[in-house]
Structure 1
Amino acid sequence: MNILISGGSGFLGSAFSEELTKRYQQAGKKLSITWLTRDTSQTHPTDISMMSYDELAKTDQSFEVILNLAGAGIADSRWSDERKETLLASRIKPTESLLEYIARISVKPKLMVSGSAIGWYGTQGVKPLTESSDYETDFSHKLCEEWEQLALKATDYRVPVAIVRTGVVMHPSGGMVAKLLLPFKMGVGGQLADGKQIMSWISREDWVGAAIFIMEHHLDSQTNLHHSAVENTLQTGNDTPALVYNLTAPNPVTNHQFTKAMGAWLHRPTIFTLPEFLLKLMFGEMSTLLIDGQKVLPKALLEAGYNFKHTDIRQALEQQS
């Protein structure tokens, strides 16, 4: 197996690389992982190869699978006009480079798994959302939609595409949990607004497991991707398969439930509340990520046969510590 990963050194890409390497070593299978990066001098595991975007533009090397994860963190800072442009460009430019590579090489990848987020659905409160649900238009939707539609152009070159719409990824070493550790450990953690907003989450271990499952589900049997349920099939204008999967746990929680789980895990009180007006003052438009919920369910993943390791949020926090 030969895999190319954009964003390979990130919170998800690095965990994916580590777990896949472990599985292939245990099975005695050959595996080659290459991280596509703008900085090939960065620290990386010795069994990982590095490739720059300039090198990608010239190489004739073929990859069976491309995992497209590159993109700046959507919740890392306020959504100024400049930040919005950065969020979009950090997704679009790497994907364009991958498409140019795919168009040029003679041996095409067997699959491209391309990142997205549950922000594609927009703000819809407590309404259950599956892969066949419609969307509400807001910045998050527009960002995800432009990224997804560009990635789907790989099907023009007969490369099947699986879009993975990711929820809030839970793991102490990064993402939302890492940012909240200090205030919660200090005993000043608490719920946001009224705490009723739904959080669609997934443990990092299950995100990695699901991404590997989707990859192998296609590669092990070419018919699987062609004959998946209509509900998670995307329209591309050609007959090359394109599917979407929600990467979220089956049991979304309210922000209040998440807050209590964090407090119980860290053995700290959770008596404080950040009111809605203060969140809007602090984060501006980006506060929608904190105030407005989404109840996104992994219907396609469950129907394909994936078994979640973590369906309880406190269990996910404790077992991944």
Structure 2
Amino acid sequence: MTKSNHDQCSDYIAQTNLPTPIEESFAYHDRPGALQRLVPPWESVELEHSDNSLAVGSRVVMKTKVMGVPLRWVAEHTEYDPPNLFADTQVSGPFASWDHRHEFFKSDSDAGGSQLRDHIRYRLPMGQLGRIFGSGKARKTIEAMFAYRHRITRDDLQLSTDHPIEAMRVAVSGSSGMVGSSMSSLLTLLGHRVHPIVRSPDQDESSIAAWSSPEEAAKFDGVDAVIHLAGKSIASARWTDQIKSEIRDSRVIKTRQLCESLASLDNKPKVLICASATGIYGDRGEEVLNEDSAPHDDFLAEVAKEWEAACQPAIEAGIRVVNARFGIILSPSGGALQKTLTPAKLMGGALGNGKQWWSWMALDDVVGALYHAMATESVSGPVNFVAPASVRNRDFAKTLGRVLGRPALFPAPAFALRLALGEMADDLLLSSTRVEPAKLIQSGYQFRFTDLESFFQYSLGRNRLKSVQL
């Protein structure tokens, strides 16, 4: 850490090579939604206001917490020189002062890449007392934040480099959900135009109320790709006959109606990616499963089979259809990982006997693989969206506990899970589904995360990016 004798400020400089030319690297940061994508998922930060501009004078207001105390962080942009730099300063917030320059440089190599440099000069509050007691924690927080930001930026731009496609119009259902919101952000930052698919017409001219009227459905005309993720959550309530019916209908009926609308268009989308689930394989013990494995016959498997069959009108109309069979999607911001974090911090362990196989996939890989499937014409039919190496549930618990610094001591007995969740416990938590992503591997998708521990280190803020000396 370097300090100025004049103002006792600290400097932090993070530097990363990017695979894209300087213009594309800057544009990624200049597009709407960049800030939301770059906020680490473990941070308690909520974007309250932004005009989605880096122009001088524009402001960003975020809600955050420092040692559990809520506060607002207001930043104002002070420099804007595309594609070379933009800068912002703290107007009010957790630091006594904070000045941040985002600089972009052409790479010295012949590969056509660029270099991103974040240079922060900050001063802690409470003077000498703040430096003594807060400097270490502040530095670790900054190093973790920029380890995350630079990694996700580099990976996103590498994805764009691996798939050099023209800008597309992409309609996305479930765009407010965990996967849909991340996918919409990624598409926007890589230069595509996103049309949210909604249930009812709203004030957003870009949205499509797909199921409300023929006039709304006609807005799909000229859309290049449709990514259909919407459906009632399977884990939001104990399964009753009514809930099961709602789970089935929200997938099967809505998907069939959507596909019939797409099939009737004069200018049809080139590709439809429709969500499905590895639940189609059911509880299969030690069996290794791929896209050619036979489906099972329990509730979730039957729903998945009907869900995929509902895409037939689109297939018959000549639209390339991909059925994305999602495994357990991991992110601290939602889903299975978010639900297991608190028990893990309390030294919770395996579910049941812990021998069941969990086929997982990092959220960043889910959206990366969706982008890959959208851009790769050879990909069609059922595709398993899972990491190459499934893990046993007991190893999942041990790995998470190790990253959190907590031993996984206390298992959750199967009978207790069944008592609390009913049928859902067997189908979602205790079943063993060992799935391989054969089609993703064969089609050349480059996984961001194949090792569970490295993913936990990344997504839970355990990685550090040290400051460089210029």
The TM-score normalised by the length of structure 2 is 0.59
- Paired with 2:200 and 2:452, the residues of 1 have a C-alpha distance of 35
Give per-residue Cα distances to partners, 1:155-187, cap 9 Å, x unaligned.
Answer: 1211111111010001100111111222223x1
Question: Structure 1: which amino acid aligns with 2:266?
Answer: S
Q: Contact between 2:253 and 2:310, CA under 8 Å: does it hold in 1?
A: no
Match of 1:270 in 2: 408
Match of 1:127 in 2: 287
- Kindly state the Cα deviation for residue 119 of structure 1 after the two structures are TM-superposed: 0.4
Structure number having the greater strand percentage:
2
- Kindly state the Cα deviation for residue 19 of structure 1 after the two structures are TM-superposed: 1.3
Question: Structure 1: which amino acid aligns with 2:447?
Answer: F
Distance change in 2, residues 1:22/1:136 (3 Å): same
Match of 1:237 in 2: none
Deviates more, 1:261-270 or 1:143-152: 261-270
Q: Contact between 2:199 and 2:212, CA under 8 Å: does it hold in 1?
A: no
Match of 1:215 in 2: 374
Q: Contact between 1:3 and 1:65, CA under 8 Å: does it hold in 2?
A: yes
SS at match of 1:113: strand
Structure number having the greater helix percentage:
1
- Paired with 2:307 and 2:211, the residues of 1 have a C-alpha distance of 21
- Paired with 1:113 and 1:95, the residues of 2 have a C-alpha distance of 11
Give per-residue Cα distances to partners, 1:266-305, cap 9 Å, x unaligned.
Answer: 2223211111111121111111121111000001110111
Q: Contact between 1:112 and 1:160, CA under 8 Å: does it hold in 2?
A: yes
User: Residue 199 of structure 2 is aligned with which of 38, 41, 45?
Assistant: 38
Q: Name which structure has the greater RCO, CA cutoff 8 Å, separation 6+.
A: 1
- Paired with 1:18 and 1:103, the residues of 2 have a C-alpha distance of 27
CA RMSD of aligned residues (A): 1.9
Match of 1:246 in 2: 384
Give per-residue Cα distances to partners, 1:195-218, cap 9 Å, x unaligned.
Answer: 111000000011111110111111
Distance change in 2, residues 1:56/1:213 (3 Å): farther
- Paired with 1:104 and 1:295, the residues of 2 have a C-alpha distance of 39
- Paired with 2:444 and 2:457, the residues of 1 have a C-alpha distance of 25
- The answer on 1:203 being equivalent to 2:342 is no
Distance change in 2, residues 1:165/1:114 (3 Å): same
Match of 1:91 in 2: 251
- Paired with 2:315 and 2:295, the residues of 1 have a C-alpha distance of 23
Deviates more, 1:48-57 or 1:249-258: 48-57
Match of 2:190 in 1: 23
- The answer on 1:309 being equivalent to 2:466 is no
Give per-residue Cα distances to partners, 1:65-105, cap 9 Å, x unaligned.
Answer: 11111111212222211110111111123313312321332
Question: Structure 2: which amino acid aligns with 1:263?
Answer: G
The TM-score normalised by the length of structure 1 is 0.85
Q: Percent identity?
A: 34
Give per-residue Cα distances to partners, 1:88-146, cap 9 Å, x unaligned.
Answer: 11112331331232133211111101110000111101100001111221111101001
Asked which structure has the greater CA Rg, the reply is 2
Match of 2:52 in 1: none
Match of 1:189 in 2: 348
Q: Contact between 1:193 and 1:275, CA under 8 Å: does it hold in 2?
A: yes
Match of 1:110 in 2: 270
Unaligned runs of 5+ in 2: 1-167, 461-470
- The answer on 1:255 being equivalent to 2:393 is yes
Match of 1:50 in 2: 207
Question: Structure 2: which amino acid aligns with 1:163?
Answer: N
User: Residue 2 of structure 1 is aligned with which of 161, 169, 191?
Assistant: 169
SS at match of 1:74: coil
- Paired with 2:241 and 2:335, the residues of 1 have a C-alpha distance of 23
- The answer on 1:299 being equivalent to 2:460 is no
User: Residue 65 of structure 1 is aligned with which of 206, 211, 225?
Assistant: 225
- Paired with 1:54 and 1:98, the residues of 2 have a C-alpha distance of 7
Question: Structure 2: which amino acid aligns with 1:207?
Answer: V
- Paired with 2:282 and 2:328, the residues of 1 have a C-alpha distance of 14
Q: Contact between 1:170 and 1:317, CA under 8 Å: does it hold in 2?
A: no
- Paired with 1:256 and 1:106, the residues of 2 have a C-alpha distance of 52
Q: Contact between 1:36 and 1:50, CA under 8 Å: does it hold in 2?
A: yes
Distance change in 2, residues 1:157/1:198 (3 Å): same
Question: Structure 2: which amino acid aligns with 1:51?
Answer: I
SS at match of 2:232: coil
Question: Structure 2: which amino acid aligns with 1:36?
Answer: I
